[in-house]
Amino acid sequence: MGSGDTAFSWITAILKSRYPEDERYQMASHVVQLLGKQFDSGDPMTISVVKPTWVAPLVNFLSLCEKFHTMDPPPYPGSIALRILSASPGPAHFDATILPILTSTLLPTHPLQSRGLALRIFHVLGSGWFSSQMQAVSDEDIEKLLQVVGDPFQLTPDPPLQAGNPAGAADRDPMMSAVVLIEFASSDRWQKHLRRSNFTSCEEIASEEENRNILGVMLDNVADEWLGFNRDSAMVTTAIGRLRELQCLNTVEVVITWAQAAGVGRPEDHEAWRSIRP
């Protein structure tokens, strides 16, 4: 089929054409199915890394899929598109157009049954949710998104993590999604939409030291993007305050322990964080 760039240019051309919607969906689906085979082939000469310029065509195709996603037998082209999109290296080329797609596919009742893939895209965006590209997102849309994210460990193909059962590779996506929710707790705009139910499983698993350590490593992985290279302690203070309001005390302990070990803030900040009572 040629390079990934060629295939994605085909998808863009098809979606912009004047054919009826169902025909555009069918034609673009054939290209997506071929891309899926290349993506899964393991051949380094085919597509193995998703380029930022491929994000928009995939999102536009998925928007069309919401009308026609089950016209063909599995594997559904929409699931293939989600799988490729979930391998995107970062949030830079995402914008608010992804929001209705995630809000729909995160539902356990969605026909594609792709909540796990949608969660992966959710955490790939990470701090990108706070970017200028997302300024068009309304409070109502944020509320809907966090309702369907719910408890990331629940209603996913992988079993929820239990206390005493340290996180493994299969639990990485809900664990990373929980880290994004911790980031949300530091944002005045996002934190008011969080509920304690978003952290039900996180609270349970954070009672185990090994799981706390894994969460700390994941926080380390996002620290510079989340807090800035100066590691702004005010963001941590805000997150801790909101998590305390939600009575997520195990998660608070994870954040405080991580921040101390990572050198975020001054020693007096650490004492202040621990002295705040829920």
What would the pLDDT profile of 221-262 be if each residue is shown by its tens digit? 999 999 988 888 999 999 999 999 999 999 999 999 999 998
Q: What's the mean pLDDT in 200-209? A: 93
**Global pTM value:** 0.88
> pLDDT tens, 161-170?
444 444 444 4
Percent of the chain exceeding pLDDT 90 equals 58
Q: How far apart are CA 112 and CA 138, in angstroms?
A: 26
| Alpha carbon distance, N-terminus to C-terminus of the chain | 59
pLDDT grade for 92, boundaries at 50, 70 and 90 = confident
At which residue do the structure tokens 């863009």 appear?
12
Q: Are 232 and 180 in contact (CB under 8 A)?
A: no
Cα 202 to Cα 47, 226, 268: the distances in Å are 35, 19, 28
pLDDT value at residue 18: 95
Residue 31, pLDDT > 70, answer: yes
Return d(Cα 120, Cα 214) in angstroms, integer.
17
